[in-house]
Amino acid sequence: MVALHASGGVQLQQADHVFKALGCERCLQVDFWEAILMASSQEDVVQELLFRVASVYIDRLTDARPDPPRGRGPLKSADDLINSCCHYGALYPWLTVLNPAGTSNAQHQEAPHKLQSLLCGPSLSVGAVSPLLDGLPEETSWGFSLHLLRATRRGQYDSCIEKLLDRCPQAIVAYGNHHFQDEDKVLWWTKLLPELCNRTRAAADNGILLAALKETVVVVAMEMSPAEFLELIPDDGAASYFLPHLLTCCQRHLLT
């Protein structure tokens, strides 16, 4: 079927009728769509298929469609598609903190991993699948990560910082390292550093926040001049905590 589609012998709608007439299981049709995504260079076909497979992945997450029958996994895993299809992007590093491996069996992880990969990739239109993502509950780790991916793709970094600090502060530095580059790097000290200072001061058990604050201060000290760094230190901050970083900032500034 893939070869027929590539040669123009069958169109997507015709292939749909063939699969339906043969009574093929849904997962086999999804295998076909994923294979076409790997082979096709037609933009209209690619966009149609991206929407189709994203819809199926979301349906599987919400149990609107059954999982593949036991013993019958997908022909291509998420890793296979990431390595062989340009439309599936490598997962952002902070996602492994939000969704650590081993939290569920591999079959149940395939749909969310593939959907995450599409949102990390260059081709899927976030606007096209946004209404479908609305139905995913943020209470689950998968739903939370997918909502964050959507907001990140839209450049809504401020809200993502606040949500990560609320739910998973141990992922915040990995998030910043990946996304706060070039013109967005200023978010380290205009948004993240003040938020971490305030939350660390207010939290009773602040070990995770302190670790994130330390890594954030290291980044800020490398980017700013000593005078700028001094202005950022909170008025009620402990001098002993910030002095080593100020010294590093001064030494770096002298060298440059």
Tell me the per-residue pLDDT of 59-99, one tens digit each, with 9 for 90 and over: 988 864 444 554 567 899 999 999 999 999 999 999 999 98
**Is 162 inside a domain boundary?**
no
At a CB cut-off of 8 Å and minimum separation 6, what does 27 contact? 68, 69, 72, 74
Whether residues 65 and 136 share a domain: the answer is: yes
Q: Are residues 236 and 129 in the same domain?
A: no
Q: Which pLDDT belongs to residue 114? A: 96
Q: Residues 150, 190: one domain?
A: no
Categorize the per-residue pLDDT at 131 as very low, low, confident or very high, splitting at 50, 70 and 90. Answer: very high
Domain-located, residue 41: yes
H helix count then E strand count, the chain = 16, 0
Band of residue 17 on the pLDDT scale cut at 50, 70, 90:
very high
Query: DSSP label at 91?
Result: P
Q: Which of 76, 77, 120, 80 shows the shortest CA–CA distance to 98?
A: 120
Q: With respect to residue 88, please indicate whether it lies within any of the assigned structural domains.
A: yes
Of 111, 135, 154, the domain-final residue: 154
Rg (CA), the chain: 23
Torsion over CA: 124, 86, 154, 212 (sign): positive
* Same domain for 205 and 149: no
Both 77 and 115 in one domain: the answer is yes
pLDDT surpasses 80 at 256: no
Residue 237, pLDDT score: 67
Same-domain status, 193 and 99 = no
Question: Is pLDDT at 54 greater than 90 in this prediction?
Answer: yes
- Residue 207 in any domain: the answer is yes
Structure tokens at 231: 């202005």
Report pLDDT digits (tens) over 195-248: 999 998 888 788 999 999 999 999 999 999 999 998 888 887 677 888 899 999
- Domain range for 203 is 183-256
Q: Identify whether 172 is part of a domain.
A: no
Residues 200 and 149 placed together within one structural domain of the fold: no
Does a structural domain hold residue 19? Answer: yes
Average pLDDT of span 14-21? 91
pTM for this prediction: 0.89
Residue 176 lies in a domain: no
pLDDT at 72: 67
Q: What is the pLDDT of residues 142-191, one digit of tens each?
A: 999 999 999 999 999 999 999 999 999 999 999 999 999 998 999 999 99
**Residue 164, in any domain of the structure:** no
Given this model, what pLDDT does residue 102 score? 52
What pLDDT sits at residue 158? 95
Number of domains the chain contains = 2
Q: Are residues 63 and 130 in the same domain?
A: yes
Quote the pLDDT of residue 22. 86
Regarding whether 24 and 108 lie in a shared domain, the answer is yes
